[in-house]
Amino acid sequence: MSPVDNRLNEIDLGALASWMAQQGLGRGRIEQPRLLAGGTQNLIVQFSLQQRPFVLRKAAASAYANGSETMRREARVLAALASTDVPHAHLIAACAEEDVLGGAFYLMEPVDGFNVSVGMPKLHGGDPRLRRRMGFALVDGLAALRRVDYRAVGLEEFGRPDGFLERQVSRWRSQLESYQHYPGWPGSANLPEVDAIGTWLDRQRPQTFKPGILHGDYHIKNVLYRNTAAGLAAIIDWELATIGDPMIDLGWLLATWRDADGAAGGTPIVIEPWQGFPTATELVSYYAQCTGEDVSNARWYGVFACFKLALLLEGTYARACAGNVDSGVGREFHARALALLRRAREWIV
């Protein structure tokens, strides 16, 4: 069994089957469990019970603190989206308690779609016109999410929209400074653009926004596309969702998007083939068209996303300096953080 397959041992399939029987989801033995692609923080396992397919999502044993709370929040978001036109994996059941599998988890229906991180089907990979529609489909997903009244779907207490933007820069600066406890990390002076960008963000911060559901990590690798069309089959990985300024998601998309000439521009997300995908400017214009919202501050949200993502990537470098992460991965993430900060400075100028 490969190291990846070994992670299946973290799931007690017998305990899961017993819990599913209690929930009226079927009785019998769980069949054909297989680990789906996912990060180190979460386990995503597809299996069948009485010939019905299920997908389980649970925090991995190696996850950071509060993995169970993350699963509870994700399940709550998926439940809230059930009555909306936001493309998502439909929630079947959730277990908030930790005594069944050693952590909270939920079950969802499988999605018939593909993730560009593992390659495109021949249809999409061979047609730049289809890839152009794939880019705009990402904005369609944001527009659908923006149309949801978070109060009407039961998410009124899901976040703290009051003072949301005012908290952001100091929140992520504090995150950066928290890396000081990793021995060997050279410190925030290693990121010379942080102070200037943080000051600009505070001075240019939008004064108002319309609160809504914020995905929190919206980019092309966090969606599944339809196998036979350019549209989205599902938006995935809701672990950072909250109630805040939905324009943050647009900014995150811009920060992780390639430059107009196709260059990576510091983004840690590289998709091939890229020819045909719309430019960032076209995405912003389409967002305005789809939502009717003012996008005059789109640059601020893009700069903020570069700033936040750079500081998150630097955390991996700090852990690598302490010997907790492969040193090569750490250096790569630090280089990407520097590139993102350079991109932010270019957008400021």
Which residue segments constitute the domains of the chain, with CATH numbers given? 3-108 (3.30.200.20), 116-348 (3.90.1200.10)
Give the tokens for residue 57. Answer: 């999502």
Q: Are 214 and 243 in contact (CB under 8 A)?
A: yes
How far apart, in whole angstroms, are the C-alpha atoms of residue 215 and residue 238?
6
pLDDT recorded at residue 63: 58
In sequence order, what are the residues at sequence separation of 6 or more whose Cβ sits closer than 8 angstroms to the Cβ of residue 170?
Answer: none
pLDDT recorded at residue 64: 64
How far apart, in whole angstroms, are the C-alpha atoms of residue 170 and residue 277?
34
Question: What count of other Cβ atoms lies within 10 Å of the Cβ of residue 170?
Answer: 11
Listed as ranges, residues in the chain with pLDDT below 50 are: 1-4
In sequence order, what are the residues at sequence separation of 6 or more whose Cβ sits closer than 8 angstroms to the Cβ of residue 21?
Answer: 27
How far apart, in whole angstroms, are the C-alpha atoms of residue 83 and residue 301?
29
Question: What count of other Cβ atoms lies within 10 Å of the Cβ of residue 148?
Answer: 19
Phi-psi region of 65 (alpha: psi -120 to 50; beta: other; left: phi over 0): beta
